[in-house]
Structure 1
Amino acid sequence: MSDAPPAPMTHRQILEALSGLLLAMFVAMISSTVVTNALPRIVTDLEGSQTGYTWVVVATLLAMTATTPVWGKLADLFSKKLLVQLALLIYLAGSLVAALAPNMETLIGARVLQGLGVGGLTALVQIVIASMVSPRDLGRYSGYMGAVFAAATVTGPLIGGVVADSPLGWRGCFFIGLPFGIVAFILLQKTLHLPVVKREVHIDYLGATLIMAGVSLLLVWVSLAGDSYAWGSVTSALLLGGGLLLLAAAVYVEARVAREPVVPLRLFRDRTISLATLASVFVGVSMFASTVYLSQYFQLARGMSPTEAGLMSIAMVGGLLVSSIVSGRMISATGRWKTWLVVSMVLVLAGCILLGTIDERTDLVLVGVYMAVLGTGLGAAMQNLVLPVQNVAAPADLGAASSVVAFFRSLGGTIGVSALGALLTPQVADKVTDGLAALGIPAAGARSSGIPDLSTLPEPVRAVFEHAFGASIAELFLVSAPFAALGLVCVLFIKEIPLRTAVHSIDEVPGDVPVAG
């Protein structure tokens, strides 16, 4: 076998390899968007609560967040092709269980399984692309990823809404990803051919377990405190203390014990990686909050059907589509990325503030404009925050560094959805109590965390609930705004280093042996 580095792939070869990868990415993205507009109906049908609504989303995000670094490390050790296919199979199994779920507990468990697969797909697709093209050209191909993300985000809510309103019901939302996943698996087998890197394997299972357990306890604490138990109760203290203790243990393991840590703390000695990672946390809060709770706004504050709520999402995704493609192409053409990141974070901040002003009577055209502003910012910020990290990371750390950014973005989203959901429940209850009192109606049960079926309520009572959800969801965006501002500050302090034009060579990684595969 020749010691010369492999010849760079042609544009056609890259596009052929991308076909299966992008379809796999489409499957991963559509898994969350297709169910968004069906969630109110799902929770009502399975007799769930607002906390259950939140955890249907959080379960996937948590599993995805906790396993993303593991997938990233595995990509440095095993065949990337086989890992992508394995992640796809795990996702498909979770989708099948979710489609057949008889209750909220089973559904949430199935969403955890889906999250394991989605975590692998989202991390591995970026890593595989980065192993094929130079950082300078990543913007060009990230544009394709942005287009796929936008397509999944546009069609997901629409398809999910239509399916939820059809005889298939909400269960069909989980079935429709299956054929896409099967086709993606076949395409990957035929088109993706990468050298396999073999090294001595040391996977940090202990660190990954401690991180997942610590984050889980904190999310359970945030989600249930004030409802199932008092904030100042012994249960609350035990959950908070236990979560912090587990995370402290995870830091110790990552720094002192693990031979190849899931989250290599030495990466954070680099200012660019530290600031980009922190910015990703704040972007995650805004991104997931907008997709999860805007659906509730349209159905519970504006009385829309799932299909109509899906149509409204086009405003935000249109901005996301344009900004992701344009910014990717411009970054590839110039090699400069900081201006795009700064502008994107300004737009995210502006979008959060604007959406914080809406209520159940706001003109829908205005709501659409505000959503477009937020979507434009998110489109450029999400995909481009990983570029400076991949640009400065050592070849041996490319997989870990890429997945760390995805990990912390998902972590921000997971914590954001959970915390905002915990904030939403008492806000809605207080407004419903006040509104019913103004109508002279006893407020018994108004503090329940259940989600109402608006079609069964008398008009005056329905108006009370619509106002409660409309005003409360707007407040969530105002809470998100300071996090977007912090993300902007982080981006401002990142030093711009022009993107490299060379591809990371496998031969640069000490101890690696390329094997045909």
Structure 2
Amino acid sequence: MDTHRQTLQALSGLLTALFISTLSATVVTTALPGMIGSLQGSQTAATWVVTATLLTTTATTPIWGKLADLFSKRLLVQCATVIFVLGAVVAGLSQSVGVLIAGRAVQGVGAGGLQTLVQISIGAMIAPRERGRYAGYQSSATALATIGGPLLGGLIVDTPWLGWRWCFWLSLPIAVAALTILQFTLHLPVVRRGPVKIDYLGATLISGAVSALLIWVSFVDDSYAWLSWPSAALVGGGVVLLALAVWVQTRVAEPIVPLPILGQRPVALAILGSLASGTALFGGTVFLSQYFQLAREYTPTQSGLLSIPMMIGILIASLIGGHLLSRSGAIKPFLITGTALLTLGFLGLSQIDRSTPLPLLSAASLMVGAGVGLTAQNFILLVQNSVHLKDIGAATSTVTFFRSLGGTIGLAVLGAVLARQVSSRVSEELPNANVVGALQDPATPEPVRDILKVAYADATGQLFLIAAAVAALGVLAVLALKPISLRTSVDLPQNPVDVPEAPVVSPAGERPARPETVNQGQDRTDASGWYRAKSPVEGNPG
């Protein structure tokens, strides 16, 4: 069995797991208005159905990454899949918005593991320069979920004998398939680096700090005033927890966010770019789908169809970009192009109103999708290219952590801004109106619907202007990068002391044996100093 075939077999299970994780995010976008309308929720509740998932994904991503450096990656992916399914079952059975949000939060724990562990496993199997050869498979799985998710969510909601709950239950058979495939195909070596030391305190402090600040952003100027004791408690508490988290990271042996890795220039700039990319990605998909349904009164299925240009942009850009990147090895031009397309796309979307022509919307959405396709995975690849294999779990989870954090903060802030903008625009004519509920209710009079739709469309345009400004920060971060060429080995060169300065010539003129040094009992470093990893089925099963 050749290495290429073994790699494809290992990828099959990983990409199946990644597929259900991505599908859970995209299938909800078109079904969200129907869910909230059915459970009598508000715009803030709608935002938190997505934010809760991102928050727990963000909080647990570094933990999964640390575990990946200590335990079997296959077992961890399977555990993350089971947790994800349990959350889906809770969300599907929910009878209130609170239970729905709780189920989505549990899903986020599993999703954080799947998204991180899949990237870590791929990084441990395939050299950065060679990853373009396999990028098409990963992009196809992601694109199928991103393109099919919104449309599938719309079809499920519009089918009377199914309903929105099946948006969660459909992941069950796919999860079973992923678990089975992983058991027989993924066999990565387990490199244990001493006793297990996981920074649970740091993870708790970070998630607590982010949660406090996001709760404040979501409810300030609504449930309490800007200058009030709840605001002071939430903001002050969040800042104190964040400061404590930073202090803990400098004291523990195995920090959840390794500060030395953050000190590397490429990693720091990639994290800044990922923050912008995450904000744009999650904000764009969620609020654009709501705009189609609430401001334009398209059905969920139609909304899913109208989101296809963005998903096609992701697919085409990731496929072509991955192929060209594998050939050239120069990653900076692709990141510059991607962040620029994100910025221009959101500038185009910022001009929308209730009657914006659909071709203009599609063109701007296509640009946003292309920007996401050229940045989302490449920022992770940039970080993986900058660290040793032994640190790839922590580094990958760190950049994924900050991308999720950017999406979480961006979604919460943009959702809060949207709720305030709509409320202020309709407060004089329709005080205390529940915009989402009123637009989902067929009994709402047409004059009232017109007021709400205009307010919602105008407010959505302002959100995309904010998203464009955030995406522009990503452009600045990428411009500050030095030109980088992706390496052709899985690991960085070893310490020169471990590598012979010159080959040994035998007295008889025989060809000298290829010197090898054992790397932590599993992997090998050849005479040139470049790491050569074993194939996915070599070494200890795991």
For residue 401 of structure 1, the aligned residue among 395, 410, 422 is 395
AA of the residue aligned to 1:379: G
Alignment of 1:139-154 (within 5 A): 139-154=132-147
AA of the residue aligned to 1:52: A
For residue 222 of structure 1, the aligned residue among 213, 217, 240 is 217
What's the secondary structure of 1:197's corresponding residue?
coil
Q: Quick one: percent identity of the two aligned structures?
A: 50
Alignment of 1:337-376 (within 5 A): 337-376=331-370
| Range 132-141 or range 411-420, more displaced | 132-141
1:394 CA displacement: 2.0
1:149 CA displacement: 1.1
1:90 aligns with 2:79: no
1:504 CA displacement: 2.9
Seen in structure 2, the aligned counterparts of structure 1 residues 451 and 205 have a Cα distance that, compared at 3 Å, is: farther
AA of the residue aligned to 2:444: L
Could you tell me which residue of structure 2 aligns to residue 19 of structure 1? 12
| Range 382-391 or range 56-65, more displaced | 382-391
Alignment of 1:50-449 (within 5 A): 50-166=43-159, 167-199=161-193, 200-256=195-251, 258-433=252-427, 436=429, 443-446=430-433
Query: Which of structures 1 and 2 has the bigger CA Rg?
Result: 2
CA distance in 2, matches of 1:50, 1:398: 39
CA distance in 2, matches of 1:9, 1:463: 63
What's the secondary structure of 2:191's corresponding residue?
strand
CA distance in 2, matches of 1:244, 1:62: 17
CA distance in 2, matches of 1:215, 1:449: 27
Could you tell me which residue of structure 1 aligns to residue 480 of structure 2? 493
Seen in structure 2, the aligned counterparts of structure 1 residues 431 and 509 have a Cα distance that, compared at 3 Å, is: farther
TM-score (norm 2): 0.90
Could you tell me which residue of structure 1 aligns to residue 26 of structure 2? 33
Could you tell me which residue of structure 1 aligns to residue 498 of structure 2? none
CA contact 2:127–2:489 (8 Å) conserved in 1: yes
1:140 CA displacement: 2.8
Unmatched segments (≥5 aa) in structure 2: 495-516, 524-538
CA contact 1:430–1:447 (8 Å) conserved in 2: no
CA contact 1:359–1:474 (8 Å) conserved in 2: yes
1:450 CA displacement: 5.3
AA of the residue aligned to 2:540: V
CA distance in 1, matches of 2:439, 2:68: 45
CA distance in 2, matches of 1:66, 1:336: 32
1:516 CA displacement: 4.0
For residue 476 of structure 1, the aligned residue among 463, 472, 483 is 463
Superimposed CA distance per residue, residues 32-80 of structure 1 (whole angstroms, 9 cap, x where no aligned partner): 1111111111111111111110110000000001101110110000000
Unmatched segments (≥5 aa) in structure 1: 1-7, 437-442
Q: Give the number of equivalent residue pairs.
A: 502
Superimposed CA distance per residue, residues 454-503 of structure 1 (whole angstroms, 9 cap, x where no aligned partner): 53222221111111111111110001111111110000111122111112
1:510 CA displacement: 5.3
What's the secondary structure of 1:384's corresponding residue?
helix
CA distance in 2, matches of 1:301, 1:449: 10
| Range 154-163 or range 452-461, more displaced | 452-461
1:198 CA displacement: 2.1
What's the secondary structure of 2:77's corresponding residue?
helix
AA of the residue aligned to 1:24: A
Superimposed CA distance per residue, residues 146-188 of structure 1 (whole angstroms, 9 cap, x where no aligned partner): 2211110111111111011112111111111111111111111
| Range 382-391 or range 352-361, more displaced | 382-391
CA distance in 1, matches of 2:426, 2:108: 34
CA distance in 2, matches of 1:43, 1:34: 14
| Range 446-455 or range 398-407, more displaced | 446-455
1:224 CA displacement: 0.7
CA contact 1:43–1:451 (8 Å) conserved in 2: no
AA of the residue aligned to 1:91: F
Superimposed CA distance per residue, residues 403-440 of structure 1 (whole angstroms, 9 cap, x where no aligned partner): 11111000000000000111111111122235x3xxxx
CA contact 1:40–1:451 (8 Å) conserved in 2: no
AA of the residue aligned to 1:201: V
Seen in structure 2, the aligned counterparts of structure 1 residues 451 and 280 have a Cα distance that, compared at 3 Å, is: farther
1:515 aligns with 2:509: no
What's the secondary structure of 1:152's corresponding residue?
helix
CA distance in 1, matches of 2:423, 2:42: 13
CA contact 2:273–2:478 (8 Å) conserved in 1: yes
Could you tell me which residue of structure 2 aligns to residue 5 of structure 1? none
CA contact 1:132–1:503 (8 Å) conserved in 2: yes
Could you tell me which residue of structure 2 aligns to residue 440 of structure 1? none
CA distance in 2, matches of 1:425, 1:509: 55
CA contact 1:280–1:382 (8 Å) conserved in 2: yes
AA of the residue aligned to 2:464: F
AA of the residue aligned to 1:114: Q
CA distance in 1, matches of 2:176, 2:74: 15
AA of the residue aligned to 2:105: V
The structure richer in helix per residue is 1
1:354 CA displacement: 0.4
Seen in structure 2, the aligned counterparts of structure 1 residues 124 and 509 have a Cα distance that, compared at 3 Å, is: farther
CA distance in 2, matches of 1:321, 1:169: 29
